[in-house]
Amino acid sequence: MGGQIDCLSAPALEDRLEEEINRAGRHGTPLSCLLVAIEDLAELASQHGRELPEQTLAYAGPALLRELRRFDRVGRPSDTELLVVLPGADGPRGEIVARRVIDRLRAIKIESGGLRRPLRVSVGLAAWHEDLTGAQLLAQTRAAARRERQGLATTDP
């Protein structure tokens, strides 16, 4: 993957997010974050063992990086989530990236019960505003992803 930036660990992601928040505050530029939750991870673990969910996240992170700008970052705030940090992106631009992220991840197929199907993902988007810490921004993205997940649950057949 010559020159490709890997996904950030949770501590490195926390540092990078704080750095981007400080930069956005100093320069008055927008900042958005997307939290990506892959809904299939628990099912994959129960059917195929703990390794497959880890492999899925390890594949999905770099796949997302190829869709983003060189200064955007993807990290793993937990064992089951990916966070995309979008410096310079306001809410509407973040929504455009969210749609690309969803399309890219749904292009990844998993095999379960003899069937191949796209990953089920939910994405939470939050835009930074002054006086919002990295932890608060992450909490807002998680809340947005949870709301989307609940919306999907009511509309899935």
Distance between CA 93 and CA 74 in Å, rounded? 17
Q: Residue 157 pLDDT > 50, yes or no?
A: no
Rounded to whole angstroms, the Cα distance separating 96 from 150 reads 21
Which residue, 1, 18, 2, 9, is CA-closest to 138?
18
pTM (2 decimals)? Answer: 0.88
- Mean pLDDT, rounded, for 92-103: 94
117 beta partners: 110
- As a whole number of Å, the end-to-end CA separation of the chain is 39
Q: Is it the case that residue 5 has pLDDT exceeding 80?
A: no
Q: Which letter, b or e, does each residue of 96-129 get, where b requires 16 or more Cβ atoms within 10 Å of its Cβ?
A: ebbeebbebbeeeebeeeeeeeebbbbbbbbbbe
Q: Which two tokens stand for residue 59?
A: 């594949």
- pLDDT tens string 24-49: 999 999 999 999 998 878 877 887 77
Cα–Cα dist 73/22, whole Å: 16
Tokens of 109: 């197929």
- Structure confidence at residue 109 (pLDDT): 86
Q: Give me the residue label for tokens 């969210």.
A: 98
Q: Tell me the per-residue pLDDT of 45-80, one tens digit each, with 9 for 90 and over.
A: 887 778 888 888 888 999 999 889 999 999 999 988
CA distances, 6 to each of 1, 58, 128, 145 (Å): 9, 10, 24, 23
